[in-house]
Structure 1
């Protein structure tokens, strides 16, 4: 019996150690990559991701999730790839790109007869060109996801990322739709993180929300979808799932594709430097993946709380929906589970006593979260 307990303990300890210390490194260098016939080459690459610490998660030792990253620095890895796929040549135009999202995921794709994993790579980028005035403008935003299913998919990610990137540029080459009013772009523009007044419009990137650079909402229609909302292009009829968010002039709606398996936008309430979302379906959330992705950013007590939240995913006594708070600058999620609220109230006995008398609804959790943080 003692041997069994010791074995289990070592399995759990080694798995936890691996999850906290390992990083899976990915290289996009591949001798099979060939130049693509194009009328452009990539002049500048701008990193517009909100989460820059890693590019997602993969399964490693003991089937634990660990963060993934490129072998080279992010921009350097992409520059090397673009130099091969879209080389600089005479008589072709230079374009620049802003990478809004580039991340990979792995998930179980088990069937009754097979135990398989699903790997996916997602890329969202803006195409930037110089205008007649010599300034840079965003002409369009392009999105692609590539997936594959096998018993072990970790080695597939370089090819999937490359395929997703190539597809975004194919969409750019083949698309006749560009923004009617290009968005001015300045990589060095200061970000006004204190701005909480979000004007009506469609926002491509989290920085654009602070600096009020948006597409006109008149070109899009908002429709209800499940517990969220969809944004539809009035010209093409396409459902737009790649934007960071949009404002109808009254409320800001944020894209939850990083936090949910369903692509839609949810209405938020702005609380200073945070977005508050009333309820997100727990069944669509991957707490383990969030801990790996954001744990290093949270640190300290926050990391411990993230681990507490993971156990809530299997707690049938928990509500099927959970309030979510997002940091407006770095995107760190905080899931307001009952356990989380109890933990943060431990240092304030009066508030803890008050909270325990409530029904512990999303509104209750929001109220006490705001009180403990002085919001």
Structure 2
């Protein structure tokens, strides 16, 4: 018995050491120093970075060593600081030029190992804003994608990140934004989202801010595959469109969220509107789980887990909340045991969960729902 206890203690200590080592073993990305990358012939510079990413503790997955061990990656410096220093070199500050605020909605890297090569990817989605008289104005949204095949792609993630960021800003430089009407937006959203106050417009939303404002664009060239057997998901036909990272799509009746926002998968998942939330069920690993499970799942760009989660997107601020079994139990088990029994029969049934939540809202439980959703 004593020997068994010793083995258990030894196993626990080794396991704890491995977990802690894995969580602290990041691949570090540096955007500086760089040479000959300064662009003088633009009429703007970047004055501020706003981090609006779903995953704020890392940049995605890199692979280390001869066995391609998956680890999380991050900048050597805080996210906003690293980007500001990089943009200051590429687009030097100049009081005669337009100061821009860059709101980064997504910036991820990933690696995929094939039989004879590795593929490194970087994707970005950002909003270009201006700031005047204490008001932020939305100018335009941009997405970038860079991919490179080689024997070892890990050491070049910095190049791909620089490429997508610079391309987004140069795309902005090519548009005549001064002739477009400026739309005021709130960084700390407190007003009622427009999308909740008027009929849903049809088209693609390039970012959360467009979804919030119910301002999609339509393009007849962008088409979905025939997918009648899986009505809860839509798949784009053209590969180039898959890479543009549209935030969401509306068919005029329903909103479909792009899974690339939270997993890197290339499909749009159907949502159900409940109060101020969009409810959906998909393979979703949140920021907390991403850190502890990255080695097992390889998330953030190359999701290989089939773990399904019920998720709520807050239309006021763009925040995702996972409504897992623990939170459902807190909501239902004591006060609504019959509803809890129904939920347990099929926990991934979105329509069932929608019906349950609607009953809670009608019963005056909105405060309790809010409290439980925001608990860690």
For the aligned pair, the TM-score class normalised by the smaller chain equals: 0.5 to 0.7
Q: Distance in 2 between matches of 1:241 and 1:34?
A: 25
Q: Who is 1:75 aligned against?
A: 80
Please give the per-residue CA displacement for 1:308-348, whole angstroms capped at 9, x wherever unaligned. 9x9xx999xxxx79464233245435387x99978987667
Change in 2 beyond 3 A, CA 1:38/1:243: farther
Q: Distance in 2 between matches of 1:204 and 1:183?
A: 17
User: TM-score when scaled to structure 1?
Assistant: 0.66
Q: Distance in 1 between matches of 2:47 and 2:159?
A: 23
User: TM-score when scaled to structure 2?
Assistant: 0.65
Q: Who is 1:40 aligned against?
A: 43
1:160 positional shift: 1.7
Q: Distance in 2 between matches of 1:127 and 1:359?
A: 40
Residue 134 of structure 2 is aligned to residue 148 of structure 1: no
Please give the per-residue CA displacement for 1:38-89, whole angstroms capped at 9, x wherever unaligned. 2223142341514362343334789765544333333322221112111245
Q: Distance in 1 between matches of 2:139 and 2:145?
A: 21
Q: Distance in 1 between matches of 2:345 and 2:257?
A: 32
Q: Who is 1:228 aligned against?
A: 234
Listed as ranges, the matches of 1:222-371 within 5 Å are 223-225=223-225, 226=227, 227-228=233-234, 241-277=244-280, 280=282, 285=283, 290-291=285-286, 293-295=287-289, 322=308, 324-328=310-314, 329=317, 331-332=319-320, 334=322, 350-355=338-343, 361-364=349-352, 366-367=354-355
Q: Who is 1:101 aligned against?
A: 105
Cα pair 2:123 2:146 within 8 Å, conserved: yes
Q: Distance in 2 between matches of 1:33 and 1:151?
A: 26
Residue 20 of structure 2 is aligned to residue 17 of structure 1: yes
1:274 positional shift: 2.8
Q: Who is 1:121 aligned against?
A: 122
Please give the per-residue CA displacement for 1:210-238, whole angstroms capped at 9, x wherever unaligned. 4x2635x4566774335316599xxxx97
1:224 aligned counterpart, secondary structure: coil
Q: Distance in 1 between matches of 2:143 and 2:150?
A: 24
Cα pair 1:294 1:332 within 8 Å, conserved: no
Q: Distance in 2 between matches of 1:262 and 1:177?
A: 33
Q: Distance in 2 between matches of 1:6 and 1:177?
A: 66
Paired residue total:
339
1:350 positional shift: 4.3
Change in 2 beyond 3 A, CA 1:260/1:88: closer
Q: Who is 1:172 aligned against?
A: 172
Please give the per-residue CA displacement for 1:94-113, whole angstroms capped at 9, x wherever unaligned. 251433334223343232xx
Coordinate RMSD, CA, aligned: 5.0
Cα pair 1:241 1:264 within 8 Å, conserved: no
Q: Distance in 1 between matches of 2:185 and 2:304?
A: 45
Cα pair 1:246 1:254 within 8 Å, conserved: yes
Q: Distance in 2 between matches of 1:102 and 1:73?
A: 16
| Structure 1, gaps ≥5 residues long | 298-302
More deviation in 3-12 or 45-54?
3-12
Residue 183 of structure 2 is aligned to residue 184 of structure 1: yes
Q: Who is 1:300 aligned against?
A: none
Please give the per-residue CA displacement for 1:171-204, whole angstroms capped at 9, x wherever unaligned. 334x458698544144556433677336526544
2:161 aligned counterpart, secondary structure: helix
Change in 2 beyond 3 A, CA 1:239/1:314: closer
Q: Who is 1:206 aligned against?
A: 208
Q: Distance in 1 between matches of 2:264 and 2:153?
A: 19
Q: Distance in 2 between matches of 1:192 and 1:243?
A: 24
| Structure 2, gaps ≥5 residues long | 228-232, 367-376
Change in 2 beyond 3 A, CA 1:153/1:294: farther
